Structure formats: C-alpha cells, structure tokens
Amino acid sequence: MPPVNRLENLEAIVQQFKELDETMTHYSDMLSLAGWDQQVMAPPKGKSYFSKVRGTLSTELFRLATSDQIGELLNALSRPEVQQQLDAATKAAVRERKRSYDKDKKIPEKLHKDFTIHTANARTVWEEARKENHFEKFRPTLERTVELVRQYSELYGYEKHPYDALLDDYEPGLTVEQLDRIFGTLRERTVQLLERIRHSPQQPRHAFEGAFDVSQQEKFNLHIIPLLGYDLDAGRLDVTAHPFAITMNVGDVRITTRYFENDPKGSLFATIHETGHAIYEQGVNAEYEGSVISSGVSLGIHESQSRFLENMVGRSEAFWERYFGDYKSFFPGKFENLSVRDFYRSVNIVAPTFIRVEADEVTYNLHIMIRYELEKGLVAGELEVKDLPRLWNEKMREYLGVEPPTDTLGVLQDVHWAYGAFGYFPTYTLGNLYSAQIRKTILKQFPDFYDIIRRGQFSVIREWLRENIHQHGSVYTPSELIERVTGEPLNPDYLVEYFEEKYSDVYGL
C-alpha cells in the first residue's frame, strides 16, 4: 500500500476502503434478503438448502471483514493525522468497520465455527425443550453456550466486568456500571408506581371482546402505517410467526406482523412497533447507501424509534381521538358503547404477565432486569445454569409478584439464549429510556405535540425525527447521538416521569 502522507495517496486509500465497504454491505444485503425469504416466502422444502447458501455467504463476508487488506486500510485510515482529513461519513464508516474488525480478529476461526454450529443446533434443542416444558433437556446445551460466550468475553477483553465485552456488541460503549445505576433507579420507581396502580379503584375495562376478522385487521394496518410515515413503495408488510423489520437498502425496508382473531391489539401494536423501526431505516440519508453506516446505529437507538411510535404515539389518547373512528369502521358492531377514553385506557392496561413480549410498557422493563441479572451472573461465573429455573421464578415473584407455573412460561420463553445473544436484552429497556428522553425534547420543540397527533399530522414529527435522528444512520455513536438530540447523556428520570404522568391519568392516581 502507498504511504498515506500524500493527499493523492489518501484519496486512493479512501477509494479502496469505500469499495470494500460497499462489497461487504452488498453481502450483508443479500444475507438479509435470503433471511427474509427463508422466513416469509420460501416453500418448506427449499429452506434447508437456503441455510447452506447463507452459511457460505456469511463465511465469505467474515473473510472479507477480517482480511489483511481491510486491516491495512483501516489502520492507515485510523491514524490521527489522517482522521482529521476525512469527512464525517467516511470517519464513521472507518470507526464501525474497525470496531468489528478488531473484535473479529480476536476470535480464532475454530471458536467462531464452533459457536456458529453450536448455536444453530441449540435453537432446535431449545424449541423442543420449550414445547415439552423440559428445562433439563436444554440445560447441557445452554451450559455449553455460556462456556463459549465466556470465552468470547475473555478474548474480546474488558476493563471491569466480563459482561461489558458482550454488551458492547449490541450497544457500543454500554457497561455494567452504567446499567446497574440506571436499572436501580428505574426498578425502584417502577415498583412504587405498580403498587399505586394495583390499588387504584379506577381499573380500566377490557375493550376487545370476541373475534376480529383477520383480513380487516390487515386492512387497518395497511391504512394506518402510511399515515405514520411508512412508505409502502419502499417496503412491504407480510406475515410471520414473530414480527420483525429488515432492511435491504434505504429504498427497501420490509416489516412483518402476525394476526390472532382474538388478539387484534397484539397485532396492531406489533405492526406499529415494526413501523417505527422501518421509518428509521427508510429515513437514512440515501448518500450513505452501500456503506455500513446506512443502518440505524445501535439496537437501543433502534428500539427507541419503535417504542416511541408504539407507546408514546400509538397508545396516546390523542392518537385514538383521531383514529378510533377509523378503527371502529373496520370492525362494524364492535366497540359500540365504548368511548375513545375507555378505548385509550384499555390499550394501556397494566398487569403483570409471565411473558415478556405480552407485557405492558410499565412492567416490561422488569422482565428485562430479570434477564440482565441472570445473564450477568452466568457470564461472571457467579450463577450456574442448573439453578436458572429456580432463580427465574424467585425474581418473577420478587419483581412482578407472579410466578410462572411452568418453565415454558418462564425461563424457556425467549430464543435469545439459544442463539448465544448474551448482552442483547438490556437494549430493549435502553430503547424505552432513550424514547422517553427524545419525547421530552420533542415536547420542548413542539409544546402542541399531542394536538399535532390529534390533527393526524404525524408527518411533522416524522420529519423532525428524520432530521435529527434517522438521516444520520450510524454516523454518530449512540451516546453522541443522544447528547446531540437531547442535549444530555442518557437519563432514566424521563421514562419514570412519562410513566407517572401517563398512568396517573389512565388509573386516576
């Protein structure tokens, strides 16, 4: 490689880096497309072959991402005197690629392969164990996963806690020290609020009774998501067992949802949630297309966009003042003697559940804290896998006041541990915290925020989100972005304030 001290050489190096960045992004895009196809479109008999194709693509991508060529380019471009000369987008792409490169290089190929094969099999074992309510069947597999995850943590390296090394994969820079402090405050004040809610004489009544035609549910979803800013010419809505959003490129961001005749609420809010993820990705500056920075910056920031739309907009009274009439018209005969206010209160019922994904927004974070504490203990070697079912139930009783009758409804409910995703769960709560802080900033900019929603002018808010958050893709790190947007680092008080304000209204506290 030519020396970088001359400008024309620097330009050549940047050009080479951009080409490699684009090639790797194209591999990722095709992996996304193949993943989507496997879950949404492919006929059952074609699925297993697809797994092999994805394996090949993913191995090729790993080779490129850890190649000597990219390593040399990244080293040259990371030198302080060179950094000064790069534009913000290139600098961010170098930062992102280098972060993965440095981590990947620490993992021996054999461990990478063992982990990939082990977690692929673990998923099947977990599925069976969950179906049969048989934790012991999953235990040896999970013990091996924890062993592998601990090896990753040691190889990545950390300053204070082995779990920090894993958190960094999902939310760069996040540490146990920060989380313990944030979760401590949040837990204490959530539990106090829950007590007041539980004792309120004004309990909302359930609005959804009987069966709701699935095709009508789908029609309403397709009616509402463009009004929230989702561009259907740059995306599509399909059906899968577990809803998700996935990006092929800025002009192709797809979402999925699921339908249950007896639970239209679940489907509706899952769809709005995924729409939040999708409008983030659709809003990224098109000039970043083909680069690693063309996607949202972290899971936590991503989740802030989905939770904001789902809970702070979609479960607000103003939203339903605007759209309850529309919703009723899709389900003639339903909600006949129900006021908008009753409907709004009904979609905000707070009640502890066994299952995280069915939890209301107040109790949701307690589910996350349970997983966080258990993961942290396992990674630090302070807890043993064999004790998980007992510890899980104890914590459920302590935090939520309910104890799951089976492990299927308890410790076996989530897929994350099966695929080795330790450090992922906290980003869900982080998303809630970020969303409340962003909401607070929006309220300062738009004191008539709820009037805007009541008038059906959400596009005004979407534009603000695009301008301040979405367009930047991964240019800023999560902590840089939150400070830029809200003027301060992450502060858990805003979520608690939002809960207290909203639930005082819903429950007449």
Min separation Cβ 254 and Zn ion, Å: 14
CA distance 218 to 424: 30
Nearer to Zn ion, 197 or 278 (CB): 278
With respect to Zn ion, which residue has the nearer C-beta, 145 or 413?
413
Residue 366: count other Cβ atoms within 10 Å of its Cβ.
Answer: 24
Q: Output the smallest distance, CB 277 to Zn ion, in A.
A: 6
Task: Please choose, from the candidates 71, 98, 104, the residue with its C-alpha nearest in 3D space to the C-alpha of residue 293.
Answer: 98
Q: Measured from the CB of residue 465, what is the shortest distance to Zn ion in angstroms? A: 16
Choice between 335 and 424, CB closer to Zn ion: 424
Helices (H), ranges, 41-161: 47-65, 68-78, 80-83, 88-105, 109-132, 135-156
Q: Taking CB under 5 A as the rule, which mask of x and - marks residues 423-462 in contact with Zn ion? A: ----------------------------------------
Q: Which stretch binds Zn ion (CB under 5 A): 3-11, 219-227, 300-308, 371-379?
A: 300-308
Q: Which stretch binds Zn ion (CB under 5 A): 223-231, 303-311, 330-338, 477-485?
A: 303-311
Which 8-state DSSP code applies to residue 475?
S
User: Do 309 and 273 meet the contact criterion of CB atoms below 8 Å apart?
Assistant: yes
**Least distance in angstroms from the C-beta of 330 to Zn ion:** 25
- Give the range of 198-206, 299-307, 400-408, 456-464 binding Zn ion by CB under 5 A: 299-307
Contact 152, 165 (CB under 8 A): yes
**CB of 276: closest distance to Zn ion in angstroms?**
8
- Shortest separation between residue 286's beta carbon and Zn ion, angstroms: 24
> Is-catalytic flag, 403?
no
**Computed over its alpha carbons, how large is the radius of gyration of the chain?**
23
Of 25 and 306, which CB lies nearer to Zn ion in the complex structure? 306
Does residue 306 bind Zn ion (CB under 5 A)? yes
> What gap in Å lies between CA 403 and CA 406, rounded to an integer?
9
Distance of CA 439 to the CA centre of its chain: 18
**Shorter beta-carbon distance to Zn ion: residue 119 or 432:** 432
C-alpha span between 480 and 485 (Å, rounded): 9
Sheet with 237-239, strands from edge to edge, namely 237-239, 252-257, 245-249
Burial of 224 (0-12, 13-18, 19+ CB in 10 A): buried
How would you class 84 by CB atoms within 10 Å of its CB: exposed for 0-12, middle for 13-18, buried for 19 or more? exposed
CB of 429 to Zn ion, least distance (A): 12
Between CA 324 and CA 369 the distance in angstroms is 34
Contact yes or no for 236/220 (Cβ under 8 A) = no
- Tokens of residue 479, six digits: 């902590």
User: Smaller CB distance to Zn ion: residue 139 or 356?
Assistant: 356
C-beta of 306 vs 437, nearer to Zn ion: 306
> By beta-carbon distance, which residue lies closest to Zn ion?
306
Cα–Cα dist 245/152, whole Å: 28
298 binds Zn ion per the rule CB under 5 A: no
For residues 13 and 255, which CB has a smaller minimum distance to Zn ion in the complex? 255
Q: Determine which one of 96, 274, 303, 361 is catalytic.
A: 274
Closest separation between CB of residue 163 and Zn ion, Å?
22
Residue 439 DSSP code:
H
Binding segment for Zn ion among 60-68, 153-161, 236-244, 302-310 (CB under 5 A)? 302-310
Interacting span for Zn ion (CB under 5 A) from 117-125, 304-312, 447-455, 482-490: 304-312
Who's near 212: CB < 8 A, 6+ residues apart?
261, 262, 264, 331, 334
User: Nearest 5 degrees, angle CA 122-CA 125-CA 130?
Assistant: 120
Applying CB under 5 A, the span of 279-287, 306-314, 432-440, 465-473 interacting with Zn ion comes to 306-314
For Zn ion, how many residues bind (rule: CB under 5 A)?
Answer: 1
Using DSSP, state whether 247 is helix, strand or coil: strand
Q: Looking only at Cα atoms, what is the longest distance across the chain? A: 76
Q: Which residues bind Zn ion (CB under 5 A)?
A: 306
- Active centre residues (catalytic): 274
